[in-house]
Structure 1
Amino acid sequence: MLADVLVRAVETAVGAHLRKRDFDRRLRAATERAVDRFRDRHLSVDRELTLFLLDDAPVLDLPSVGEALRQLVLYPARSEDQASQDFAQVLRRFAPAVNEERVDRALQELVRCLRDELQHLPELQPSFALMYQQQQLEVLRATARPTSPSQSDRSSRHNLPHRTYHRLVGRATELELVLKRMRPEDRTWVVVIDGIGGVGKTSLALEAAYQLIDGDPGQRQFDAAIWVSAKQTLLTAHGINTRQPELAVLRDLFTVMGSVLGRGELIQMPFREQRAVIGELLSGDTRVLLVLDNLETVDDDEIAAFLRDLPQPTKAIVTSRHRLDVAYSLRLSGLPVDEAAQLIAAQADQRDLVLSQAEASALTRKTGGIPLAIVWSLSLMNLGHSVESVLRRLGSGHSDIAAFCFRESVRALEGTEALWVLAAIAMFEDPVDRTLLGRAAGLGEDVVARDDGIQTLIQLSLIDLRAGMFTLLPLTRTYVERLLDEQPDLRDRVRAAWLTTMLEVAAQYRLPDPSWRDLTRLRSLGPHLHVAYGWARDSGQVHHALALAGAVLADLDAVGRWDDLLATCAEVESYASSTAADDLVLHTGWYQNWIYAQRGEFDQAWLALDRVSHLPTTPEERLRHQVCCAQTCRREGRHKEAAAHLDQAQALVPDLTTPAASGLVAHLTFEAGKLARDLGDWDAAERAFRETSRVFDPEAVTRALADGETPTYDPEWAVRVLGNLGVVEHRRDNLASASALLQRAVDFTREHGSASNLATLLIRLADVQLDQGRVHEAAQTLGEATRLAGRLGMREEERAGERLTLKHRALGGAAAPEGGSGSTSTG
């Protein structure tokens, strides 16, 4: 049968060293499919000849016919005429009446069917790649106009594909960098452009190649450019299509190079002779640029070795989804927002599509600025899909674009710790640091496994690394989230490790007390804690949500999101009440009291205290509650009632037994100092603040942080002491001392403190600067203070800002800041 004949003929062609044990079976099956396809297609065209070839005569079983077909399928450029004659000659022996036109038509259809099936066999792909390259060159030769020697000198030799874009949008910086590295004086010989699929690697490489060979001989950088693509898939609006790669082994590269450089005889040479000729060509007078596209699909170490040893003056540009250790690497990520908007506008205009600004912004956000995702999305819209359906598809993780970009890379991670790391990073909506990521992946303190996994993901272009933080592009995230839905065991394992990690982090920030809480780190951890809290709440895991709540509230306070803080307090209070978590109910009540009092909303402040007044049971809780009452009375101007509450708190001091007792007493003394300050008793205020500083010691805190040690107490309490001592010095007209104390407090708070404390300190500092005659500096300080106070709704600071604004104008300030005179004693 024909299958047996072709199996023997093709096996001889590919050689024993390329054949695998199941090659015979796969080749036979492909041949039989091709014959069946030929029968189905040609029976309606020429029933008589089709039946004659397949059923009525032994023509296709002859070895000479099998060899002729093999030549036609694999080497058409070399043997088409002779093989066609051999086939027709044998056929006429059995059917002399069949005319030549019918034979040619049947032969072409049979060969087409055989090629369609056989080209998918890995062993035959190099032969088909060579065949397609030869066909392209023949077309180029046939269509090329004859040129004079002078014209030939002016033109460069290349086989670069046509640009698929009218104008390359964005990538100006990256393009300039590639062009710079390709200059003769630059010592770089290979530039590897890497990144996820669809990020624009091929377009950047193609544009660079065209610019490098453009111009007159004396101006262009290269005389010849050779393009070879190992790309196996293409994405269109209709789906992912497979294509025949041109590059599988180093010999394929040599063959294309020989064709472009006018040495077509390389095809017939043994490999060793090819290598020698290529070495001479590349080290000669012709400056050659190699461009290897999609090299990650090629499994041939000889190609990497060849690139490492490129002879001068040859250089190469390589694109790959995987980071390669060859020479200079340039990683591409999504386009910046403005460049993505330009691409959307240009592509929409080409397709006569009109997108609103909101729709274009949503498309930028969903695609993460990935150019192919943008083009693919607009192509779908051009086919009639609505903007809404395309955006939904982008966010589902089931789209063709997600599969095209990530499927093969993620498949390579199965069963590895790198997959745990990838799953863990999908749990974080914001960039995450290396330490937290390793713990969330369940790798604990195994830094080697963590770093190996991260390295693998970076090499596969699956994660982004910026300023020491790791994150996912939106498309990557949706794909990984879909993967986790499909692999619940992996999802549950990583989510458990992630939640455990976040609970451990949250334990450091549980309740608002004077003990050490690293607010600097909390600013980076805050977004992760919010995500964990939201997930636990929405999943019905109230006990975990409450364990995370203290840290979430601390973060909202530190960054000054007081509206969100009040809403979250109410939510947490409700959950805590339903589970009898009285300590958390109590602390959320104190939080709300403090914020409402800061805002001058005293009715709400007292309601918050009244709701929890029955809960304090220990001496520590009762003392703190009395201090909250004293603070609220002081802010209202009810100084005698404030003093009475402080006396009640003082009476509880002998009953304190906890290790934090000294901090609570210092808190009480500090509030007594603020009451003396508001009453204008500067000596009593200073004594109280100095006594407080023995516990909340600014110098001890400064030394501890400088030495990398953990302070005993929250640095912000020490800063509050400095700020209030600054107020006392100001009232005594010691302006230089007041300015130094307040400036030190401001600098410290910017790094370690909360937004509300910063607003108060800036108001006080601006007042001192005005009294010092530093009008311009005061305007800047006051502007920042009033903006912060306005955002937080701090009524007392806002009123102080208005007074200082009038004072600033009276002193001849050119432009009054937003807000701001008179003396201030805020906080």
Structure 2
Amino acid sequence: MDNQEALQRTLNRACRALQILEEEKASFGIRVPVDLQIELEEKQKEVTSLEARLSQLQEKHPASVPDNLPRYNDVFVGRKQEIARCLEALSPEERGWGVAIDGIGGMGKTALALEVAHDARKQALFDAYLFVSAKTTWLSSEGVREETLALSSLDSFCREFAKGLGQTDIVKMTNSTERRRALLDALRGRRTLLIWDNLETLNAEEREMIGEFLRKLPTPNKAIITSRRRTGESALTIRLDRLSEAEALELMQAKGRSHTHLAQELNATKPEILTALYEASGGNPLALDWTLGQVAHKGYSISVALERLRNAAKSRDLYGFLFADAAKTLSESDRTVLSALVVFLTPAKTAALADATDLAITEIQVSLERLVTLSLVNDLDGERFGLHPLTRTYIRAAVGGTDTVGTAPLSGIWFDSGAQRKVLRYWVDFAQKYGGYDKDAYKTYDKLEAEWQNLEGVATTLREMAGIPGTLKDSQAAQMLIDLENALYNFLFFRGYWDERVRLSEWRYQAGKALSQWSDAGWGAYNVAWIYYNRAETDRAASWAAQMAEAMERGGNRRDKGVAIRLQGVIAEQRQDWAEAERLYQEALAIYRELEDEECEAIVLNDLGGVTRKQGQYDRAESYYKQALAIEEKREDKQGQAIYCNNLGLLALNRDRSTEASLWYERGLALAQEVGRQDLVASAQVGLALVLEEEGHYTDALPLALAALEIQERLRAQDLDWTRQLVERLRGKAGIE
């Protein structure tokens, strides 16, 4: 036995050294130095060899310590904080019976329990270590395997624990109540760690009886339980959440060391794809393992395996294993709340869910409590609730789908597509309430900014439901998409979401065509064209302008046709075809004056000011600009005033009137900042920088030019190259490298 004890001490030292090396490796992320990796692998081999020698000695000289802990052969990464908290809860100083580990399926609850138990054994915290599981299914890359010998009751757990302790008399008892009492008596005076695995498979009565048993567990015995259902009475509760991205990448690399093809795929895959895999899996170790298994064992590329992970119907083994059993227990209100949370891409508060679903607050609170207990919903700080990415994928597929995942259909039986549609309508109404185009709309754009992630997600969902581009599948969804874009397009332009505006406006165009609503299609085309014009992508702008004109000819009113004519003039001006531009502007101006549309009249007067200024006709330009400004002052439209003040500032610079230019630009900047329109802010900043440059104040001009450049780079604005040149010129004049 002396040799065995000495070997154990050597092994303990080697394990501590290995742990230090692993922590050092983790600090480097995925860029591990070669010498550290070699040293780590050598230490791992040393530990494996020592464990094998110790195992041989123990077979010759069986230890008296009851111990049936499974050897966890898979890769274990991260969870250092959770391990430390668990070990602290298992110490004799803690009064609770131990640790309850809960969380969504596949988060590594069993793995963590075993890792903690093995660490406790290394530290000799207990005299016995007993593991018993109620696990009924196992997931591998080949599919779900059934466990026919799984335990299903407190009494069966007690039998196994008694057997592990060598208490054959307790095993032979016929009365289950007496067996429980006898086991508790047998544990008195002992230091035993009991691991109860996968308790969610037991019925509610059995789980309640286990809770009562654990409350009576005599100290200093402790227990660890794992379950997808939240429990944790009189114990430390660890809700196991996602791995960090660094830990997930470490897990991927560790898996790759065991499979040549997987290692090759990992090395050949772009980092952004690996990040996308991490995001789609939600940092779930089982989902990552399953996805990597598709690569290692079935020869898929990582990109293909990622697409399968994102498609619940094509990954029914995984999603059925994770969610099917829980789905069977849900009430109608539970399903409604889950369907609503799918649409909320940011955590939702109870009040917002009530507004979106028409359920009573009390109904929502009861459902949320149940869904949190089932680990289907995460309760977050600030009384907010959200979904894990895998849960979201499952529920999205289950709302109105046509396939099945495990025993839970993806056909709407479990989840009501009407509830999802109601929440989508809630967000469209939200956009219409706080968006729009009128002169004061900018005052509520902060509310849209705060919810932009949700609004963008709603747009994507509506497009998918509508089936565009292609055969129209859902006309109601297509109309909601049009309504959403119409409410948001001006906000997107003001706040610098230009790429997003292009995308949503294209979808509006497609939806309008699908519904034969040609005015809507035309306005979608216009909104796309306007971004391309502002980026000086003239050919693209012209293409979309032509599509707008065609749509307006089929279904637009006279004002719509005037807008199409004016857009053609803008493009002609960008091509420096001054005569054609002025002709088109005058044609559009006549239409707007006939319709008594002062807003559009001011816009075209400004256009005429621009085309005449570029031809050096400064007096005519000033007249047009000031007529436009007077209209917007009368209308109290601050956005229009900002535009025309900036243009009058530019005109003053053209005339070498720097003092006058400064006044116009200062007024334009204040107005642009008030309404929050980013391109106008940049335009005024550039103008003021030019004034300061002309006055020789280069160091004062440079910050303004840099601020403008930052905005224009984000927008990819048409003046971007010119502003870059201004910045470089000012750097040189200010003597700044």
Same fold by TM-score, threshold 0.5 exceeded? yes
Distance (Å, rounded) in 2 between the aligned partners of 1:613 and 1:537: 36
Q: Which residue of 2 aligns with 1:71?
A: none
AA paired with 2:433? Q
Give the distance between the partners of 2:683 and 2:182, measured in 1 at CA: 78
Unaligned runs of 5+ in 2: 1-54, 402-409, 543-565, 571-583
Q: Which residue matches 2:226?
A: 319
Give the match's secondary structure for 1:342. Answer: helix
- Among all aligned residue pairs of Structure 1 and Structure 2, give the percentage whose two residues are the same amino acid: 22
Query: 2:568 matched to which residue of 1?
Result: 607
- Aligned partner of 2:254 in structure 1 is 346
Q: Deviations over 1:82-117 (max 9, x none)?
A: xxxxxxxxxxxxxxxxxxxxxxxxxxxxxxxxxxxx
Query: Does 2:623 correspond to 1:644?
Result: yes
Tell me which amino acid in the other structure corresponds to 1:722: A
Task: After TM superposition, give the deviation of residue 177 of structure 1 in Å.
Answer: 3.2
SS at match of 1:629: helix
Query: Is 1:307 aligned to 2:214, yes or no?
Result: yes
Aligned letter for 2:211?
A: A
CA contact (8 A) 2:357 2:419 kept: no
Contact 1:290–1:317, Cα closer than 8 Å, also in 2: yes
The amino acid of 2:533's aligned partner reads Y
Q: Judging changes above 3 Å, is the alpha-carbon distance between structure 1 residues 606 and 372 closer, same or farther for their aligned structure 2 residues? A: closer
Query: In the alignment, which residue of structure 2 is the partner of 1:503?
Result: 428
Could you tell me which residue of structure 2 aligns to residue 226 of structure 1? 130
2:554 is matched with none
SS of the residue aligned with 2:144? strand
Counterpart in the other structure of 2:72:
163
1:521 paired with 2:447, answer yes
Answering whether residue 269 of structure 2 is matched by residue 357 of structure 1, we say: yes
> For residue 531 of structure 1, what is the aligned residue in structure 2?
460
CA contact (8 A) 1:157 1:224 kept: yes
- Indicate the residue corresponding to 1:241 in structure 2: 145
Q: Quote the Cα distance in structure 2 between the aligned partners of 1:528 and 1:375.
A: 28
Amino acid at match of 2:134: A
The change in CA–CA distance for 1:362 and 1:641 in structure 2 (over 3 A counts) is: same
Partner of 2:597: helix, strand, or coil?
Answer: helix
Distance 2:523 2:201 in 1: 61
- Looking at structure 2, the residues matched to 573 and 762 of structure 1 have their Cα atoms a distance apart, in angstroms, of 34
How far has the Cα of 1:560 moved from its partner? Answer: 2.4
Q: The residue matched to 1:613 in structure 2 has which SS? A: helix
Q: 1:280 to 1:576 in 2, by over 3 A?
A: closer
- Equivalent residue for 1:443? 357
- Matches for 1:546-557 after TM superposition, within 5 Å: 546-557=482-493
Q: 1:263 to 1:570 in 2, by over 3 A?
A: closer
Which amino acid is 1:462 matched to?
L
Hey, what does 1:458 align to over in structure 2?
372
2:349 maps to which residue? 434
Aligned partners of 2:589 and 2:601 also within 8 Å: no
AA at the equivalent of 2:493: D
Q: Is the 8 A contact 1:336 1:369 kept in 2?
A: yes
- TM superposition shift of 1:804: 3.8
Determine the structure 1 residue equivalent to 2:326.
409
Matched, 1:562 2:478: no
The match for 1:375 among 289, 304, 307 is 289
1:527: how far off? 1.4
Aligned length: 599
Q: Is the 8 A contact 1:534 1:545 kept in 2?
A: yes
What pairs up with 1:463-474 in 2 under 5 angstroms?
A: 463-464=377-378, 468=384, 470-474=386-390
Q: 2:692, 2:88 → 1: CA distance?
A: 51
Question: Quick one: structure 1 residues 667 and 790, their matched pair in 2 at CA, closer, same or farther if it must change by over 3 Å?
Answer: closer
Task: Give the TM-score normalised by the residue count of structure 1.
Answer: 0.61
Match of 1:419 in 2: 335
Match of 1:256 among 142, 145, 160: 160
Q: C-alpha separation between the residues in 2 aligned to 1:573 and 1:339? A: 44
1:159 positional shift? 1.7
Which residue in 2 is equivalent to 1:820? none
Matching residue of 1:298: 202
- TM-score (norm. length: structure 2): 0.68
- Asked whether the 8 Å contact 1:590–1:608 carries over to 2, the reply is no
- Name the SS of the counterpart of 1:512 in structure 2: coil
> Does structure 2 conserve the Cα–Cα contact (< 8 Å) formed by 1:790 and 1:798?
no
CA distance in structure 2 between the partners assigned to 1:458 and 1:164 by the alignment: 31
Query: Unaligned 5+ residue runs, structure 1?
Result: 1-140, 655-660, 693-719, 725-744, 817-827
Other-structure match for 2:649: 677
Aligned match of 2:636: 663
CA contact (8 A) 2:109 2:240 kept: yes
SS of aligned partner of 2:260:
coil
Residues 593-602 or 540-549, more deviating:
593-602
Q: 2:709 aligns with which of 786, 791, 795?
A: 786
The CA deviation at 1:478 is 3.9
CA contact (8 A) 2:534 2:718 kept: no
Q: Partners in 2 of 1:302 and 1:254 — Cα distance?
A: 12
The worse-fitting range, judged by mean Cα deviation, of 288-297 and 596-605 is 596-605
Letter in 2 for 1:546: I
2:109 maps to 1:207:
no
**If you compute each CA radius of gyration, which structure gives the higher value, 1 or 2?**
1
Over 3 Å counting, the alpha-carbon distance change for 1:315 and 1:621 in structure 2 is: farther
| Cα distance between partner residues in 1 of 2:247 and 2:210 | 35
Taking the TM superposition and a 5 Å limit, the aligned residue runs for 1:583-732 are 585=522, 589=526, 592-593=529-530, 596-597=533-534, 607=568, 613=588, 622-632=597-607, 637-638=613-614, 639-646=618-625, 648-649=627-628, 662-664=635-637, 666=638, 669-678=641-650, 679=652, 722=670
Following superposition, the deviation at residue 443 of structure 1 comes to 2.4
In 2 relative to 1, CA 341–474 (structure 1 residues): closer, same or farther, beyond 3 Å? same
Mapped partners of 1:410, 1:615: distance in 2: 64
